[in-house]
Amino acid sequence: MQNADKAKTNLQQKSVEPLLTVDEVCRLLQVKRSTVYSWVQSGRLACVRLGRVLRFHSDSIGRVWTEGLRQSRKEKND
């Protein structure tokens, strides 16, 4: 029981970010569901699989957003 109490205490001490759903990611990035699934399959967007359900850390969404901005700027300069 002591190990379980330690694990629970460790989780409580860490700042746990809520995971985002596919629909929330779509809304944030303004893309279709099929785009999100395609990005997951290609490895462009990291996810957590909980059974058949996908969830996303907000930092992985930020990376995709930043990558998209870089590509957009690069295309403008070319």
Domains in the chain (CATH in brackets) are 17-77 (1.10.1660.10)
Tokens 């995709």 -> residue: 64
For residue 47, give both structure tokens: 């996810």
Whole-structure pTM value: 0.70
Query: Helix or strand or coil: residue 44?
Result: coil
H helical segments located in the chain: 2-13, 22-29, 33-42, 58-77
Q: Show pLDDT as tens, one digit a residue, over the chain (78 residues).
A: 566 666 666 656 556 788 999 999 999 999 999 999 999 999 999 999 999 999 999 999 998 888 887 776 777 676
